[in-house]
Amino acid sequence: MNPNFIHTYLSVDCVVFGFDFENKLNILLVQRHVEDIPVEQQKKLPGSLIYSNEDVDDAANRVLLELTGIKKMVLKQFKCFADPNRASNQNDIRWMGEEYKHNIDRIITVAYLSLCRIDHKINSTKYDTVDWHPIDKVPQLPFDHNKIIDESLIEIRKWIDSDFSIIFVLLPKKFTIRQLYQLYNALSEKKIDIKNFHKKISSFSYIIPLDEIETNVSHRAARYYKFDPKIYKKTQNKLIK
Amino acid sequence: MNPNFIHTYLSVDCVVFGFDFENKLNILLVQRHVEDIPVEQQKKLPGSLIYSNEDVDDAANRVLLELTGIKKMVLKQFKCFADPNRASNQNDIRWMGEEYKHNIDRIITVAYLSLCRIDHKINSTKYDTVDWHPIDKVPQLPFDHNKIIDESLIEIRKWIDSDFSIIFVLLPKKFTIRQLYQLYNALSEKKIDIKNFHKKISSFSYIIPLDEIETNVSHRAARYYKFDPKIYKKTQNKLIK
């Protein structure tokens, strides 16, 4: 055997997006434990080595279930991260030694995107601490987790670009156009004027107005809408838009 | 160490698309050699185990260079295939034993898309035989290579959907609208009427008419066009189209 061919561990890491009430994208981070390192410096992305009988999608589903207690979360594999130096930091090697009872100095990870309504109850069976962090206030993380998060932002934009329906996973079942607009603005690189946005949205037959308006609000009460996945599906499948 | 965590080999496999003069998508296959198995049953996707000092993108670039002799081919990672049984066929295990001088019974692969003009000269430094195969006449291949090809078709559609400019990599520098239409039809799931296609295309400022028409053709000579990547870039970056 050519000794130069890699023989290695493989993990999955999950970037779970939520959208908060201050109009910011958030992601879920968990706590790891390494001796002599302050707790606040020990956040990481949820993830796991994969088992020998697992496919990577199964491993990602397992990580999400252990993380949130929610079955069948929306999931999308987006990239394999395999930089030979991604697990070479001494603190990371120490943590892997404690976590997996083994010396590991290279590990390749397959990164996944997922989405979760931010007010959904989190019931982790694996982690003591699971917290939402605004995407613009993510601390320094171990391995290449900051890089994975940076790339996940580009990927979630592409995902919504190719399938606009997944934006509704982050909104309540009934939502106002302002809520949709704010989420869209948080995701988009380019700002869009609210009037143009209204005009555009009103041309989408899959966004259905309800006979219900907001109550107990200080501004003018807005109408609620819902998303219709069946109508959406019929409008898709075009290469040229 | 939990013995159930995978410790494995990792490879890359590349699906290289071309477009032929009979209006069909083609892919590049190579020849492997396993004793007692007829040559025509030994086609496979080009690929390689990755080296211990390589990132997966580097490995894919190496595979493409060894395959075609072309530097800097367009490249897109699209999926990690990790079915625990994907390398369990006895012929595949025998071939890996001969190729890598080692018993390997599980291998995880990261699949890449690439594009190549079909009339480009192929100068492989690694393979004796490199051939274009029409996508609808791909033979039975080893491992899960047929599955990888099936999924690559979905991915190339998504790729063009998210970045229409890459379609021009498959066309000559100057092309007719009929050529673009035929390629588009080969890629799209839905057929589009040629008149509507003309109308749509004429609204794209990045497709520039040239002062040149076809010569030596039996049908009415058509105008040539070229693609302008700078104008294309300016028209992009919208989440809602």
Q: Residue B35: count other Cβ atoms within 10 Å of its Cβ.
A: 7
Stretch 144-163 of chain B: residues touching chain A, C-beta under 8 Å: 157-158, 160-162
- Contact A186/B at CB under 8 A: no
**A204-212 contacts, C-beta under 8 A, 24 or more apart:** A204/A235, A205/A231, A205/A235, A206/A165, A206/A231, A206/A232, A206/A235, A207/A180, A210/A174, A212/A174
Domain locations along chain B: 8-162, 173-235
**Tens digits of residue pLDDT in B179-229:** 999 999 999 877 788 888 988 888 899 999 999 999 988 888 999 999 999
The Cα–Cα gap between B158 and A104 comes to: 37
Higher-confidence residue: B219 or B101? Answer: B219
Reading the block at residue B50, the tokens are 């990755």
Least CB-CB distance to A5: which of B77, B84, B100? Answer: B100
The H-or-E segment that residue B231 falls in is helix B229-234
CB-based contact (8 Å) between A190 and chain B?
yes
For residue A177, which residues of chain B lie inside 8 Å, CB to CB?
none
Token pair for residue B124? 């492989």
Closest CB to A79: pick one of B5, B77, B102. B77
Q: Beta strands of chain B (E only): which ranges?
A: 7-19, 25-31, 43-44, 47-49, 75-81, 107-115, 130-134, 207-213, 223-227
Q: Which residue has the tokens 């898709």?
A: A236
What CATH fold (topology level) applies to the domain B173-235?
Arc Repressor Mutant, subunit A (1.10.10)
Interface test with B, best of A2, A4, A5 (most B CBs within 10 A): A5
**Is the pLDDT confidence value at B238 over 80?**
no
State the pLDDT at residue B35.
Answer: 80
DSSP 3-state assignment of B105?
coil
Q: How far is A241 from chain B (nearest CA, A)?
A: 7
Interface test with B, best of A4, A6, A48, A147 (most B CBs within 10 A): A6
Q: Say if residues B225 and B210 touch (Cβ distance below 8 Å).
A: yes
B89: three-class secondary structure by DSSP: coil
Are B101 and A1 inside 8 Å of each other by CB?
Answer: yes
With CA atoms as reference, the chain A residue closest to B85 would be A53
The reply to whether A193 touches chain B by the CB within 8 Å rule is no
Chain A nearest-CA distance from B46, in A, is 17
> Does residue A239 register a pLDDT over 60?
no
8 Å CB contact between B75 and B59: no
CB contact (8 A) between residue B79 and residue A77? yes
The answer to whether the Cβ–Cβ distance between B100 and A189 falls below 8 Å is no
Task: Round to whole Å and give the CA distance between A86 and A101.
Answer: 19
Give yes or no on whether B8-162 and B173-235 have one common fold: no
Taking the Cβ of residue A195 and every Cβ of chain B, the question of whether any pair is shorter than 8 Å is answered with no
Q: Are A13 and A47 in contact (CB under 8 A)?
A: yes
CB atoms within 10 A of CB A19: 22
For chain A, give the number of residues.
241
Q: What is the pLDDT of residue B193?
A: 87
pTM of the model: 0.91
User: C-alpha distances in angstroms, A173 versus A232, B66, B93, B238?
Assistant: 15, 52, 51, 25
Give the span between the Cα atoms of B202 and B225, in whole angstroms.
Answer: 11
B8–A10 CB contact, under 8 Å? yes
Chain A contact for B240, CB < 8 A?
A: yes
Please give the single-letter amino acid code of residue A191: K
Average pLDDT, chain B: 90
What is the rounded radius of gyration, in angstroms, for the C-alpha atoms of chain B? 20
Alpha-carbon gap, residue A81 to A73, rounded angstroms: 22
pLDDT confidence tier of residue B104, bands split at 50, 70 and 90: confident
How much of chain A exceeds pLDDT 70, in percent? Answer: 97
Binary contact (B102, A164; C-beta < 8 A): no
Domain A8-162 in CATH: superfamily? Nucleoside Triphosphate Pyrophosphohydrolase (3.90.79.10)
Which tens digit of pLDDT belongs to each residue from A101-159? 777 878 999 999 999 999 999 999 999 899 999 999 999 999 999 999 999 999 999 88
**Residue A45 and residue A34 in contact, taking contact as beta carbons nearer than 8 Å:** no
Nearest Cα residue to B65 out of B16, B17, B23: B16
Amino acid at A154: I
- Shortest Cα distance from B192 to chain A (angstroms)? 10
A219: tokens are: 């501004």
What's the confidence (pLDDT) of residue A238?
Answer: 52
Q: What distances in angstroms separate CA B2 from CA A6, A99, B27, one per listed residue?
A: 20, 10, 41
**Distance in angstroms (rounded) separating the CA atoms of residues B32 and A28:** 46
Q: What is the mean pLDDT of residues B229-235?
A: 90
Interface mutation vs chain B, best among A2, A8, A55, A80, most B CBs within 10 Å: A80
pLDDT tens, B26-56? Answer: 999 999 888 878 887 799 999 999 998 999 9
